[in-house]
Amino acid sequence: MVREDGKRNFVMLEDGEKTKQFTGEMPRQAALKAARRLDGYESYDSESDAEADPTEIRLLERGTDRVHIYHAWAWEDTAPNTKPGWMKENNVSSVMRGNVSKQRIEHTDT
């Protein structure tokens, strides 16, 4: 269901349970946010290494019966030189980056 500002809400499904909520204008935008928060990818230094070990994420679009399924991976990268002030103040030197590949859309039975 689309909000007034054009964004949609997606809920991550893990083992059939609704866990975290992500917002985006498109499903991929929400999936990218979810990918950056995946556990277990802190040790990967490059995208190619992380891509070799993808995690399946399932995002239920609120207000519909659609479940968007992606292969997602993340890796740790150095912070850009143009980082914002709060990153400079807190001496943040690395950031998590993520990427996704859409696999399919399923429809729930409800």
Provide the residue ranges of all domains of the chain, joining segments of one domain with +.
8-107
pLDDT in tens, the chain (110 residues): 677 788 899 999 988 888 899 999 999 999 999 999 888 777 777 788 888 888 899 999 998 999 999 999 999 888 888 888 898 899 888 888 899 999 999 998 86
Per-residue H/E/C for the chain:
CECCCCCEEEEEEECCEEEEEEEECCHHHHHHHHHHCCCCCCCCCCHHHHHCCCEEEEEEECCCCEEEEEEEEEEEEECCCCCCHHHHHCCCCEEEEEEEEEEEEEECCC
pTM, entire model: 0.84
Question: What is the tens place of the pLDDT at every residue in 5-27?
Answer: 888 999 999 888 888 999 999 99
| pLDDT score, position 32 | 94
